[in-house]
Structures are given as C-alpha cells and as structure tokens.
Chain A
Amino acid sequence: MMTASLNAYVIVSAVLFAIGFFGVLIRRNTLIVFMSLELMLIASTLALVAFSRVNGTMDGNVFVFFILTVAAAEVAVGLAIIVALFRRRQTVQIDQLDTLKN
C-alpha cells in the first residue's frame, strides 16, 4: 500500500530539511540548534525510505536502520559536550560562546 506519489514524500522530506536548516541558522540556543539538526537527519531518512519503497529493495531501509543507530550515539555524545560546555561557561547561548573571536 503506497498511497501518495514519490514526489509528495520527497517534497515533505525537503520541507522538513529546510525547516531544520532554518532553525540551525537562526536559533541561538545550542540545544534547539541540536534539535533542528536531528530534524534534518530525520528528513533525509524519510526520503531514503520513500526511494527504497519505490524501488522495491531493502537497502534503503537497512541504511536508515544504521542512520538511526549512529544518530542515537551522536545525540548522546553531543549532549554530553553541551553539558560539559555549560559547566565550563555557564551558558549555552551561541553568541556568548565567542572565545575564538577575541
């Protein structure tokens, strides 16, 4: 049962990616930037699953399986880095983390 066309799925995935990209660029809270990154990752997995379904192969699905695993590891390490950063600098706002600038 494949209900909508491939075009529709690709468009939804691209819109999700664009929203995530927008969030990464304009937000200043590191945690929300990280959430937007996750959104972009999820958008790409949606496109992979849709292409895999249309081609009738399992490869895209298995690939998404790996992507989910790597994303879980990435989130754990990233949040640990944010916590370490907060301990050091007492802030997670991007525009206050400008040590390299001065």
Chain B
Amino acid sequence: MAQFLFLLFAIFTVLCAVGVVVNKNAVNASICLILCLVGVAGLFVQLDAYLLAFVLLLVYAGAVAALFLFIVMLLDVQGKETFGLRGFRTIAGFVAFALLLAGIGSVALKGQIVSSPPVSLAGGAQLKLYAYQLFTTYLLPVQIIGFLLLISMLGVIVLSKKHEIAEDTK
C-alpha cells in the first residue's frame, strides 16, 4: 500500500513536470506546476516531513504559482512562441537531458547509495524539533533570511515603479 502510494505520487509528479515543459500555453504550464508541487508535497508526507509539505503547499502552490499565473495573465503573450524543435540549443538540450538520464541510470543500476534502514525520528519531524533548531543552531541564518525578504521586497517595489528618467533617455 505504502509502496503503491509512493509510485502514484512519483509518477504523478514526473508527468506534471513534463506537462510544465511541453505545454505551449503558459497558463496550462503554471497549472501543471501547481499539480507537480502537490505531488512533491505528497512525497514529503511519505518522508515524514509534514511541516515542509504544508509549507510547500502554502508558499509554493499558494503564493508562488499564483504569482506566476497572475504575471502570465498580466503580460498576455499567448501563442507567439516558436516552439520548433530545431537549432543548436535544442540539440544541446537533448544531449544534456540524455547525459543526465545516463547518470541517473548508472546510479540506479549499480549505485553506491546504501539504503540502510532509516533512523526513526520520534513521531516524525515534529514542529518542536524545527523550532528548537531554528532558534538555537540556525538563529543567525533566520535573521539573515529576514533581511533577505526585506531587501527583496524593496527590490520588487523599486523594479515595479515606472522610471520617468529612463523614459526620457529612451
């Protein structure tokens, strides 16, 4: 049963990821991205990372993918993409993809990753453990992340403003 759930979520996630890449319509691609994130959240749940699954759904599927949808609809650039499979870059893409898949295959067939029986955390990764780590070991990174969010907010505001000076020099 549990193995079946893993397979279900893994296949669902990979199919939705393919959907993101091959979709011509950007709106459909972002919907596929949301579905792919839901699949990854299901995989997180099976890894006992309940809080991360929840945060992934809230922050990514809720905010980030919605922001993507919003921008796609704001820009309104439908159907102008030349999605022809030609040119040097496409060949490079296929070669890189094949190389990565070959690497994955070699790991899968004769990999050195020892799957020892996992050490069990007491009742999974609990919220208390996160809080303990965040406020002791990782206190400085938490502060830096706070500053980073502030700086990115300011950056977005500056970028989104209309620059009259830039308009004049054009």
Whether both chains belong to one complex is answered with: yes
Asked if A80 lies at the interface with its beta carbon under 8 angstroms from chain B, I say yes
Q: B75 contacts A80, CB within 8 Å?
A: no
Query: Which B residues are CB-close (under 8 A) to A95?
Result: 82
Within 8 A of B (CB), among A37-54: 38-39, 42, 45-46, 49-50, 52-54
A9 to chain B, nearest CB (A): 7
Q: Does more than half of chain A's interface fall in helix, strand or loop, or is it mixed?
A: helix
A83 to B75, CA, bound (A): 7
Q: B52 contacts A79, CB within 8 Å?
A: no
B76 to chain A, nearest CB (A): 10
A54 to B22, CA, bound (A): 34
Most chain B CB atoms below 10 A, which of A50, A79, A83, A95: A79
Instruction: Tell me the nearest residue of chain A to B5, going by C-beta.
Output: A3
Asked if B120 lies at the interface with its beta carbon under 8 angstroms from chain A, I say yes
Query: Which B residues are CB-close (under 8 A) to A6?
Result: 113, 115, 118
B53 to chain A, nearest CB (A): 9
Instruction: Tell me the nearest residue of chain A to B100, going by C-beta.
Output: A18
Q: A50 contacts B20, CB within 8 Å?
A: no
B25 to chain A, nearest CB (A): 10
Q: A75 contacts B160, CB within 8 Å?
A: no
Query: Which B residues are CB-close (under 8 A) to A50?
Result: 47
Within 8 A of A (CB), among B130-162: 130, 133-134, 137-138, 141, 145, 148-149, 152-153, 155-156, 159-160, 162
Q: Does more than half of chain B's interface fall in helix, strand or loop, or is it mixed?
A: helix
Query: Which A residues are CB-close (under 8 A) to B5?
Result: 3
Q: B21 contacts A19, CB within 8 Å?
A: yes
Question: Given that A14-B103, A27-B21 are known contacts, is A86 also in contact with B90, CB under 8 Å in the complex?
Answer: no
Query: Which B residues are CB-close (under 8 A) to A71?
Result: 60, 64
Instruction: Tell me the nearest residue of chain A to B105, going by C-beta.
Output: A11
User: Sorted from nearest, which 4 A-B pairs have the closest CB atoms?
Assistant: A56-B119, A25-B93, A3-B2, A23-B21
19 more A-B contacts (CB under 8 A) besides A35-B29, A58-B133? A1-B48, A3-B46, A4-B3, A7-B111, A8-B10, A10-B107, A10-B111, A22-B93, A25-B92, A25-B93, A26-B21, A26-B90, A27-B81, A61-B51, A65-B52, A66-B138, A72-B63, A77-B159, A80-B156
Which residues of A approach B to under 8 Å, CB–CB?
1-12, 14-23, 25-29, 31-32, 34-36, 38-39, 42, 45-46, 49-50, 52-56, 58-59, 61-62, 64-66, 68-77, 79-84, 86-87, 91-93, 95
